[in-house]
Structure 1
Amino acid sequence: MDLLSIVETLGEGRTALLMGVITGITFGVAAQRSRFCLRAATVEFARRQMGDKVAVWLLTFSTAVVWVQAAGLLGYIDIPEARIMAIPGSWSGAIVGGLMFGVGMIMARGCSGRLLVLAATGNLRSLVSGMVFAVVAQMTMGGWLKAPRDWIASQWITSGGRNVDLLTTLHLPEWGGLAFGLMLAILALIIARKNRIGASRLIFGAGVGFAVALGWALTTALSRVAFDPYPIESATFTGPSANTLMFLLDSGNAVLEFPVGLVPGVFIGAFFSSVLTKEFKFQGFESEANMRRSLTGAALMGFGGMLAGGCAIGAGVTGGSVFAGTAWLALTAFWIGGMVTDFLLDQRIARVSEL
């Protein structure tokens, strides 16, 4: 059965929902097995270490770039028509939101995607923090926090009614993005070899990047057969978490789409992966102070991720894989915010405890 037949049978909304679930399950399994996490990589790098967490993050990112750029060259992904490329981006939002998200992921001990994966493995701290993240993201999308988000985002936006294509801006050839991804992948494998990371973890780390490319390819295919225009998008967790929350609260008025299927798909994939590997375990907050810190961090990520145009996955990997200008700026801000916060907060606590 081809895609057109599936769309005619299920309808465009249910087909998009199914695509989100498939992408989410792929992501959830791969992320749980590889322990992919931007926050962990940021902390490791901030402490002048090039360990396994940095290697896995680099491999995930480079794999996403390679798959997406190769699929774009072959015509399987319409990169110029991707949602993040086809609308104006906010430089100011990427900077301010990215820094806030970077601070939040250190405080919450995990980025939004990692919190979702951990929640599926029985981590109640991540579950509660993830719910706070989703509520604040919804408030930022269309609630009380929408006005300040719009004001900050409007201070400096891209010109021409579109985001900036870095490959075009830098006058690089069409295959430039693919070449860059391959070089990053080689660097990741060199670091992985030095840290003696097993083949299984590397495969699943690459699987996270593949899931991002899968989402781009599936929504591109749907956009080509859908009667109404359908946005080309992939994995991200800020907007989808908010949309999924509203779907659960008011499913009668919710619109079936790719993001609504993504979050449950990640949860399902990570849950069954943790059960099969016997890693499912209930965990809670260590203390009241730990709870305050985690929930504050989750709130910062909810606002910051929506302002930045995506989370550590949405802007950091998904947007980065298509070389969207504001996504790369947001990714840089994630790293800076995370490293500074780790130095001022966690490393400071460690230094004080040693005295």
Structure 2
Amino acid sequence: MLQMVITGLICGALLGFVMQRGRFCLTGGFRDMYLTKNNRMFYALLIAIAIQAVGIFALVEAGVITFSAGSFNWLAVIVGSYVFGIGIVLAGGCATGTWYRAGEGLIGSWIALAGYMTMAAIMKTGPLSGIQKSMTEVHTSTNSIPDTFGISAWYFVALLAVVTLFFAVRELLKPKAALPKLKQKRSGLAHLLFEKRWHPFFTAILVGLIAVLAWPLSEATGRKAGLGITTPSANLLQYLVNGDQSFLNWGVFLVLGILLGSFVAAKASREFKFRAPDARTSVTSFAGGIAMGFGASLAGGCSIGNGLVQTAMMTWQGWVALAVMILGTWTASYFVYVRPRSQKTKTAAAVKAAV
């Protein structure tokens, strides 16, 4: 139990610290792909996936960890990931982003987190658990991409690495936009950790390494999985409600560690501040949290569980879920950002014509 608490909190704190300081926001990254044609955060995600893929398959070959890809519940993954993609736009952050932004003092993220945890618990063990069970009955027996083609996973890992390297180098060679220089108030390590802007690719490397570290730490406690947010969040709420210690596992302390690590990073960088949203934003955040909890539970993972971990495991579930949640994010972005802006432009034009 003590090992589970310590290693879970440490791994989570590292992840929360890195994501807060690096502003590693997949919601913003997916949204920017559509709104501004900026793919830099998506490339950063590919870097994290590639690093984790190399790490976990090396650990498997070394006999340190084991995992099973299981079956591909394609209907639940597609529907759930699409709803999840819509939810993260409404909530203002994905599952992990909501945890780390809550550590910064954003009340809206706490509201979204409440909706997310509640719906995840309802879907996992509550009255809506039947929906998940019935939809997961529609599946294919093979989830592993390498097993589907009957070749070694290392071919896909190598392909991912080459593609990722190509896009990363191309992005780095682009002319850099001039950014206003921040006045340096600290020196040495303190400046690098808490003041200097972190490049998304550097942050992604750290996230990938932490994701690799999570596997042996988690499996040492009997939990054969890597990073995960949705089920641990639901388990935390279940434990708080009924006190059943069977819900406590390594993943629960991981998500608590994310909150802790983000708080430390935000305080040390002077970015911690309680910020309360208006009533409309609060309702939208809660609705987004509900959609996230429903979608992630149905799909078997969120932007981390599916988008980072299952992709690195080279499963159909991970890559299909990633593509569909991006589509869901783009759909929500159209209705939340593009359409209102277009309507305002038309209204302004009509008023000008009338005058």
| Fold conserved between structures, TM > 0.5 | yes
Identity rate, percent: 25
Aligned counterpart in structure 2 of residue 267 of structure 1, from 259, 274, 295 = 259
Change in Cα spacing, 1:277 to 1:234, as seen in structure 2 (3 Å) is: same
Amino acid aligned to 1:128? I
Change in Cα spacing, 1:121 to 1:68, as seen in structure 2 (3 Å) is: same
Aligned to 2:128: 145
Check whether the contact 1:26–1:269 (CA below 8 A) recurs between aligned residues: yes
Kindly provide the CA deviation profile for residues 170-197 of structure 1, in whole angstroms up to 9, marking residues without a partner as x.
Answer: 3343422331332243123432453749
Matched, 1:297 2:288: yes
Aligned to 2:213: 214
Aligned to 1:133: 116
Aligned-pair RMSD on alpha carbons?
Answer: 2.2
Amino acid aligned to 1:153? T
May I ask how many residue pairs the two structures share in their alignment?
Answer: 326
**Offset at residue 66 of structure 1 (A):** 3.1
Aligned to 1:167: 146
Check whether the contact 2:229–2:255 (CA below 8 A) recurs between aligned residues: yes
User: Which 5+ residue runs of structure 1 have no aligned equivalent?
Assistant: 1-12, 224-229
Kindly provide the CA deviation profile for residues 1-52 of structure 1, in whole angstroms up to 9, marking residues without a partner as x.
Answer: xxxxxxxxxxxx3323333222211211111122112211111111251254
Aligned counterpart in structure 2 of residue 34 of structure 1, from 19, 22, 42 = 22
**Offset at residue 254 of structure 1 (A):** 3.9
Kindly provide the CA deviation profile for residues 201-231 of structure 1, in whole angstroms up to 9, marking residues without a partner as x.
Answer: 43222211222111112234x27xxxxxx33
User: Which 5+ residue runs of structure 2 have no aligned equivalent?
Assistant: 178-196, 347-355
Amino acid aligned to 1:173? S
Partner of 1:194: helix, strand, or coil?
Answer: coil
Change in Cα spacing, 1:253 to 1:183, as seen in structure 2 (3 Å) is: same
Check whether the contact 2:310–2:318 (CA below 8 A) recurs between aligned residues: yes
Partner of 2:24: helix, strand, or coil?
Answer: coil
Kindly provide the CA deviation profile for residues 305-333 of structure 1, in whole angstroms up to 9, marking residues without a partner as x.
Answer: 00000111011101111112222221121
In 1, the alpha carbon distance for the partners of 2:81 and 2:163 equals 22
In 1, the alpha carbon distance for the partners of 2:246 and 2:5 equals 12
Kindly provide the CA deviation profile for residues 57-106 of structure 1, in whole angstroms up to 9, marking residues without a partner as x.
Answer: 3333333233333433444332xx24xx2x43411110110111011111
Aligned to 2:6: 18
**Offset at residue 54 of structure 1 (A):** 3.0
Aligned counterpart in structure 2 of residue 327 of structure 1, from 308, 318, 321 = 318
Change in Cα spacing, 1:196 to 1:25, as seen in structure 2 (3 Å) is: farther
Name whichever of 41-50 and 306-315 sits farther off.
Answer: 41-50
Name whichever of 112-121 and 67-76 sits farther off.
Answer: 67-76
Aligned to 1:246: 238
Matched, 1:205 2:204: yes
Check whether the contact 1:133–1:298 (CA below 8 A) recurs between aligned residues: yes
**Offset at residue 129 of structure 1 (A):** 0.8
For normalisation by structure 1, the TM-score amounts to 0.84
Aligned to 1:278: 270
In 2, the alpha carbon distance for the partners of 1:184 and 1:16 equals 36
In 1, the alpha carbon distance for the partners of 2:101 and 2:91 equals 12
In 2, the alpha carbon distance for the partners of 1:121 and 1:101 equals 23
Check whether the contact 1:44–1:54 (CA below 8 A) recurs between aligned residues: no
Change in Cα spacing, 1:203 to 1:343, as seen in structure 2 (3 Å) is: same
In 1, the alpha carbon distance for the partners of 2:84 and 2:12 equals 22
**Offset at residue 199 of structure 1 (A):** 6.0
Aligned to 1:227: none
Which 4+ stretches in 1 moved above 6 angstroms? none
Alignment of 1:315-354 (within 5 A): 315-354=306-345
Partner of 2:228: helix, strand, or coil?
Answer: coil
Change in Cα spacing, 1:252 to 1:99, as seen in structure 2 (3 Å) is: closer
Amino acid aligned to 2:76? G
